[in-house]
């Protein structure tokens, strides 16, 4: 059995529609990498010419704004694919991907993947559904940025970090973002983010210890995020 058949990415992504012979082809042409925390997987404007499968770890997808600030668009974790949209649109990637922790990724060249489109309808449909899902998510994010207060967005983001990525043994959030990264996710200045975290701490919603954030009252944070 090839490793691609047993891989977590295959279970959760568009690749689940690929047949055994197609997975064997991927196993022969893929390149595996270990990406260390803080390292760039690809940069905005780059021609990636393939897709990245995330076997383990979490990365941030961000876009550089005109004032030179990084705006985090979303976080992507194991079981997901990167680069599907730019591969189909034949455009350079419009976001940068940077590892938030050590990662295991595989790269599959576009030449191999595009061949499956012509012969496997289920695979093509899965890729389209995945891209539609990304668009739906982007719409929700736009609405949230326009209609929610910064306080509500911070609460929403903290809830998302715990419910999606889990907690450490000491109950702190497993994904540790810097205050700048957190501010970037909710679309505010770092100073405002720090002030709001301090307010949340005073209200007994969270505990702070250096970079670590521990959620003390998830139910109240969820209510605040609505």
- Residue-level pLDDT at 1: 43
Q: What is the pLDDT along the chain (226 residues), one digit of tens a residue?
A: 457 888 888 888 888 889 888 888 888 899 999 999 999 999 999 999 999 999 999 999 999 877 778 889 999 999 999 999 898 889 999 999 999 999 999 999 998 888 888 889 999 898 889 889 888 988 888 888 788 999 999 999 999 999 999 999 999 999 999 999 999 999 999 999 999 999 999 999 999 998 899 999 999 999 999 8
User: Tokens 């499968």 identify what position?
Assistant: 53
Helix (H, G, I), strand (E, B), or coil: what is residue 94? coil
For the record, the structure tokens of 52 come out as 């990245």
Residues of the chain with CATH 2.60.120.10: 4-145
Residues of the chain with CATH 1.10.10.10: 148-225
- Residue-level pLDDT at 137: 86
Query: What is the C-alpha to C-alpha distance for residues 199 and 152, in angstroms, rounded to an integer?
Result: 13
- Residue-level pLDDT at 3: 76
Helix (H, G, I), strand (E, B), or coil: what is residue 76? strand
User: Burial level of 132, CB count in 10 A (0-12/13-18/19+)?
Assistant: exposed
- Residue-level pLDDT at 221: 96
User: Tokens 């969820």 identify what position?
Assistant: 222
- Residue-level pLDDT at 65: 79
- Give me the numbers of helices (H) and strands (E) for the chain, helices first please: 10, 10
CATH superfamily of 4-145: Jelly Rolls (2.60.120.10)
Query: What is the C-alpha to C-alpha distance for residues 130 and 62, in angstroms, rounded to an integer?
Result: 19
Is 148-225 assigned to CATH 1.10.10.10? yes
Query: What is the C-alpha to C-alpha distance for residues 43 and 155, in angstroms, rounded to an integer?
Result: 29
């Amino acid at each position: 059995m090839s490793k691609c058949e047993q891989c977590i990415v295959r279970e959760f992504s568009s690749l689940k529609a690929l047949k055994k012979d197609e997975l064997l082809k991927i196993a022969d042409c893929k390149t595996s990498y270990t990406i260390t925390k803080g390292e760039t997987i690809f940069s905005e404007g780059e021609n990636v010419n393939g897709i990245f499968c995330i076997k383990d770890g979490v990365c941030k997808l961000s876009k550089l704004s005109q004032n030179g600030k990084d705006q985090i668009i979303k976080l992507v974790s194991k079981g997901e694919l990167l680069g599907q949209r730019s591969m189909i649109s034949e455009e350079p990637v419009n976001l940068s991907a940077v590892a938030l922790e050590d990662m295991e990724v595989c790269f599959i060249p576009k030449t191999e993947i595009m061949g499956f489109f012509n012969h496997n309808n289920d695979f093509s449909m899965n890729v389209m559904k995945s891209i539609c899902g990304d668009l739906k998510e982007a719409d929700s994010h736009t609405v949230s940025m326009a209609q929610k207060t910064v306080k509500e967005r911070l609460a929403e983001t903290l809830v998302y970090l715990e419910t999606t990525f889990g907690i450490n043994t000491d109950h702190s959030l497993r994904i540790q973002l810097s205050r700048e990264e957190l501010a970037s996710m909710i679309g505010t200045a770092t100073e405002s983010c720090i002030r709001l975290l301090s307010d949340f701490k005073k209200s007994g919603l969270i505990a702070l210890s250096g970079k670590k954030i521990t959620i003390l009252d998830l139910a109240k944070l969820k209510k605040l995020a609505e």
